[in-house]
Chains A and B, each alone.
Chain A
Amino acid sequence: MNNQYLDVFLEEAKEHIENLNRYLLELENNPTKEIVDEIFRSAHTLKGMSGTMGFTQLSELTHEMENLLQEIRNQKINVNEQIIDTLLNCVDILEELINDIEEQGQEQHRDISTVIQRLKGKNDVYLNKTKTTIENTKKHVFNFNEYEDRLIRKAIDQGLYIWKINVTLIDECLLKSARAFLVFKTLEAFGDIIKTEPSVQDIEDEKFENEFTLYLVTSKEKEYILRALSSVSELKTVDVMRIDQDSIEVQKANLEDDADSKDTAETTKPFLTTQKPSNGQKNLKKTTKTLRVDIERLDNLMNLVSELIIIKTRLEDIKDNNYQAQRETIEYLERITSSLHDAVMKARMVPIENVFNRFPRVVHDLSRELSKKINLVIEGAETELDRTVIDEIGDPLIHLIRNAADHGIEDPQERISKGKPEQGTINLKAYQDGNNVVIEVSDDGRGIDLSKVLKKAVNAGLVTEEQSKNLKDYEITSFLFKPGFSTAGKVTDISGRGVGLDVVKTKIESLGGSIEINFIKDKGTTFQIRLPLTLAIIQALMVLVGGEKYAIPLSSIKETVTVTRDQIKTVQKREVILLRGNVIPIARLNEVLDTHRQDQNTENLTLVIVKKGEKDVGLAVDDLIGQQEIVIKSLGSFLKDIKFIAGATILGNGEVALILDINKLI
């Protein structure tokens, strides 16, 4: 496979997937011919691209989609919810296939037959008007790929049995994958597992409900298997079923709707059953990250570089003692470098649209799942952010949107009784504010019930009942960001497991940003995220500690103060100072960083007061050097585990100074 084209293929394929998602959702609300045409075009292009690249499953599936879309286009079929759901399902599978290609460099075998049958089913139903339900045509096909089929046939030739074993775990089983592992281990003692549903990987990752199915080749009888499995606890039921040669249907390249098969077993798994790659070896080829850049921006960059060359020539020409000319040229140079810096930063900027585009689909699915009517309004999708931030911000945002849909927006009846429109609204807004980009996720739901939060916090031991009476609102909402905290009465699939907001907060802080909650009871909740425009360059305060230079990001500094020796008090063996009525603990950086001890006898102590989460800490340093714009460089993977060092920067004289990560420092 030619990697050069692969990158382009992936980039474009993802765009088409996005388009498909977007237009399909639009189609639901507004079924016009133009939109169908758009969808058709994307599906068609995708089919052509995949065909050229040799991805047969992709092109097959898109081909079937195209057939259905063609019928819609010719108005032989009317669009309804079911059709859109089926098409969205197809898009999901396409996306998985594309992800496989990206991760492993080649198409992995996925079960596309079921969905193709549905596509064709839709087609037939609406064309012939003969069948009324498609869902009920449950055909039980044993889908084996050729490799597995060969194994099975060989086993049958050798007189071995093939058992289809359906295992259900008890509902309260905690370590599902561990139980599954025990089952595997037990069976593997006397046979070979040739296939599982879902895939082994998914089972290991606990991506299954309470049941899974496996196919075992062995010489042992059914009773033996049942006896062996009886030693594994927490199994609810074990069904063992024999498979003989006749009931095997090999999945052919071109799947026929009416594949000959016997109704022998119940296939419970839906569309996506990943099968192990038949060659067994995983080709973990990572494609490189690419970025599309507006050619204008590159031209601008090019111009600046050529100016740089001109300046270099000019500098060479300046006579030794012509200071005037030297100064002018250096000023000119300064201007160019800062424009160059801007231009490169701009080249790395991507509109946040790339992330936001995923959300209409998310909200659509959520509103189905929760049976709530939810409308998503997106504003400021053109706001630009650094590519690295864009890549990271998606998951936290999805989390907040889920939260809003699940916890924020009330059930339709409740909304009506409150005199609100039945349909809830989630507002997603991005805008630039100085050197920050602000992203707001707001809903018009019930807001936050402070008393409920407080009760939880007291129960969880985060605060005593005494203390809780004096807390301010923002102090109470800050509990929401504590690990393991959830106010949802019941745990749903969507949220409420309490592994949420703390992760969101950590992620955003690791991007150098911050998050805030605002709410009005029964009017709604707003999560406001502030992110720096770029991660690569920050303002920092340079300090001297034990003869070494360190950079402290300005974003975490509150102020600097000089205190005299007698202002330092000791509380519980820790040094503290009293600053405007607040007790602030002191950390001596030369001890934390094991530097050479400076003379302790100095009368004055220079403190940099930093924010560490909600608390303030005073860092004792030897001297302040000054504020400076620094470029953050990674320490590399060899030293990545050293905490409290966020990276390094190169100073004007070529020396390296380390950047302190205040959150992890103390």
Chain B
Amino acid sequence: MADKIRQFVEFKIGQEEYGVDILQVKTIERMMPITRVPKAPKFVEGVINLRGEIVPVIDLRKRFDLPPAETTENTRIIIVSVDEITVGMIVDSATEVVQLAQEDIEPAPPITSSIDSDYLDGVGKLEGKLLILLNVAKLLKPQEIEELAQI
């Protein structure tokens, strides 16, 4: 298993670089009109029409309690799908697809960045820079769903 290569979609929020497993990514979309959903958790921006399918969109900045940013040319919605839940994540920009060998992925240290290490799969080392690998499944549930249920 040592030489297992995984691919990640690399994206940026603020100055930090993140990665999400490419197997969980359905598509990457440009910013589009979002319909607000009343009484949804505050990090849920609303829903979009993704070619006929209704997809909820979350703002990763709000999710991680980062200051809001303006929507720019580079803003993207990464559509991820885990266990039949499909969700869009708003990110500042999506840069490229990178390959990481399993040995280059280290478990997340308790304090990696501004975000809770619970949501991390680990940290990837890539030519001198560090890639924070998101665990999408944890990011979307189950606490989140419980949180929703309380509203």
A-to-B contact residues, CB < 8 Å: 548, 592-595, 633-639, 641-645, 647-648, 650, 654-658
By beta carbon, the residue of chain B nearest A589 is B38
Question: Which one of B39, B55, B149 contacts A636 once the chains associate, using CB atoms below 8 Å?
Answer: B55
B151 touches A656 (CB 8 A): no
Tell me, in angstroms, the Cα distance from A394 to B64 when the chains sit together.
46
B23 to chain A, nearest CB (A): 19
CB of B87 closer than 8 Å to a CB of A: yes
A594 contacts across to B, CB distance below 8 A: 38-39
B122-151 interface with A by 8 A CB criterion = 140, 144-145, 148-149, 151
Tell me, in angstroms, the Cα distance from A658 to B38 when the chains sit together.
10
B48-87 interface with A by 8 A CB criterion = 48-49, 52-56, 84-87
A231 to chain B, nearest CB (A): 36
B46 contacts across to A, CB distance below 8 A: 656
Question: Which one of A595, A635, A641 contacts B47 once the chains associate, using CB atoms below 8 Å?
Answer: A635
A to B CB contacts below 8 Å, 28 in the list? A548-B35, A633-B52, A633-B53, A636-B54, A636-B55, A638-B56, A638-B85, A638-B86, A638-B140, A638-B145, A639-B40, A639-B47, A641-B145, A641-B149, A642-B39, A642-B148, A644-B39, A645-B37, A645-B38, A648-B35, A648-B47, A650-B52, A654-B33, A655-B49, A656-B46, A656-B47, A656-B54, A658-B38
Tell me, in angstroms, the Cα distance from A642 to B145 when the chains sit together.
10
CB of B120 closer than 8 Å to a CB of A: no
B35 touches A636 (CB 8 A): no
B49 contacts across to A, CB distance below 8 A: 650, 654-656
B54 contacts across to A, CB distance below 8 A: 633-636, 647-648, 650, 656
Tell me, in angstroms, the Cα distance from A647 to B148 when the chains sit together.
16
B149 contacts across to A, CB distance below 8 A: 641
A658 contacts across to B, CB distance below 8 A: 35, 37-38, 47
A635 touches B56 (CB 8 A): yes
CB of B6 closer than 8 Å to a CB of A: no
B47 touches A593 (CB 8 A): no
B16-48 interface with A by 8 A CB criterion = 33, 35-40, 44, 46-48
B38 touches A595 (CB 8 A): yes
Which 8 residue pairs across A and B have the least CB separation, nearest first? Answer: A656-B35, A593-B38, A641-B148, A641-B149, A648-B54, A633-B54, A638-B56, A656-B49
B37 contacts across to A, CB distance below 8 A: 635, 639, 642, 645, 658
By beta carbon, the residue of chain B nearest A545 is B38
Question: Which one of B38, B48, B85 contacts A637 once the chains associate, using CB atoms below 8 Å?
Answer: B85
B151 touches A642 (CB 8 A): yes
Tell me, in angstroms, the Cα distance from A654 to B48 when the chains sit together.
9
A548 touches B36 (CB 8 A): yes
A87 to chain B, nearest CB (A): 41
A288 to chain B, nearest CB (A): 13
B140 contacts across to A, CB distance below 8 A: 638
Give the interface centre of A548, A637, A643, A654 by most chain B CB atoms within 10 Å. Answer: A637
Besides the known contacts A635-B54, A656-B46, 7 further A-B residue pairs in the complex with CB atoms under 8 A apart:
A633-B52, A635-B37, A637-B84, A638-B56, A641-B148, A654-B33, A658-B37
Question: Which one of A592, A644, A647, A657 contacts B35 once the chains associate, using CB atoms below 8 Å?
Answer: A657
Tell me, in angstroms, the Cα distance from A657 to B38 when the chains sit together.
12
Tell me, in angstroms, the Cα distance from A595 to B44 when the chains sit together.
15
A337 to chain B, nearest CB (A): 14
A656 contacts across to B, CB distance below 8 A: 33, 35, 46-49, 54
B145 contacts across to A, CB distance below 8 A: 638, 641
Tell me, in angstroms, the Cα distance from A654 to B52 when the chains sit together.
8
A636 touches B56 (CB 8 A): yes
Tell me, in angstroms, the Cα distance from A11 to B131 when the chains sit together.
49
A645 contacts across to B, CB distance below 8 A: 37-38
A633 contacts across to B, CB distance below 8 A: 52-54
A641 contacts across to B, CB distance below 8 A: 145, 148-149, 151
Give the interface centre of A642, A643, A647, A655 by most chain B CB atoms within 10 Å. Answer: A642
Give the interface centre of B38, B86, B151 by most chain A CB atoms within 10 Å. Answer: B38
A657 contacts across to B, CB distance below 8 A: 35
B26 to chain A, nearest CB (A): 13
Tell me, in angstroms, the Cα distance from A450 to B60 when the chains sit together.
59
Tell me, in angstroms, the Cα distance from A658 to B33 when the chains sit together.
14
Tell me, in angstroms, the Cα distance from A645 to B151 when the chains sit together.
13
Tell me, in angstroms, the Cα distance from A555 to B40 when the chains sit together.
26
Tell me, in angstroms, the Cα distance from A633 to B49 when the chains sit together.
10
By beta carbon, the residue of chain A nearest B83 is A637
B39 contacts across to A, CB distance below 8 A: 593-594, 642-644
A641 to chain B, nearest CB (A): 4
A666 to chain B, nearest CB (A): 13
A639 contacts across to B, CB distance below 8 A: 37, 40, 44, 47, 56, 148
B87 touches A638 (CB 8 A): yes
B127 to chain A, nearest CB (A): 35
By beta carbon, the residue of chain B nearest A647 is B54
Give the interface centre of B33, B36, B84, B87 by most chain A CB atoms within 10 Å. Answer: B36
Tell me, in angstroms, the Cα distance from A638 to B84 when the chains sit together.
9
A636 touches B86 (CB 8 A): yes
Tell me, in angstroms, the Cα distance from A637 to B54 when the chains sit together.
11
B38 contacts across to A, CB distance below 8 A: 592-595, 642, 645, 658
Tell me, in angstroms, the Cα distance from A642 to B38 when the chains sit together.
9
Tell me, in angstroms, the Cα distance from A648 to B35 when the chains sit together.
10
Tell me, in angstroms, the Cα distance from A639 to B57 when the chains sit together.
10
A393 to chain B, nearest CB (A): 25
By beta carbon, the residue of chain A nearest B140 is A638
Tell me, in angstroms, the Cα distance from A173 to B87 when the chains sit together.
47
B55 contacts across to A, CB distance below 8 A: 636
B40 to chain A, nearest CB (A): 6
A272 to chain B, nearest CB (A): 33
A556 to chain B, nearest CB (A): 18
Tell me, in angstroms, the Cα distance from A634 to B52 when the chains sit together.
11
Question: Which one of B40, B48, B144 contacts A642 once the chains associate, using CB atoms below 8 Å?
Answer: B40
B56 contacts across to A, CB distance below 8 A: 635-636, 638-639
B86 contacts across to A, CB distance below 8 A: 636, 638
A635 contacts across to B, CB distance below 8 A: 37, 47, 54, 56
By beta carbon, the residue of chain B nearest A643 is B39
Tell me, in angstroms, the Cα distance from A154 to B140 when the chains sit together.
47
B48 contacts across to A, CB distance below 8 A: 656
By beta carbon, the residue of chain B nearest A637 is B85
Tell me, in angstroms, the Cα distance from A79 to B86 when the chains sit together.
57
Give the interface centre of A593, A595, A639 by most chain B CB atoms within 10 Å. Answer: A639
A548 contacts across to B, CB distance below 8 A: 35-36
By beta carbon, the residue of chain B nearest A635 is B54
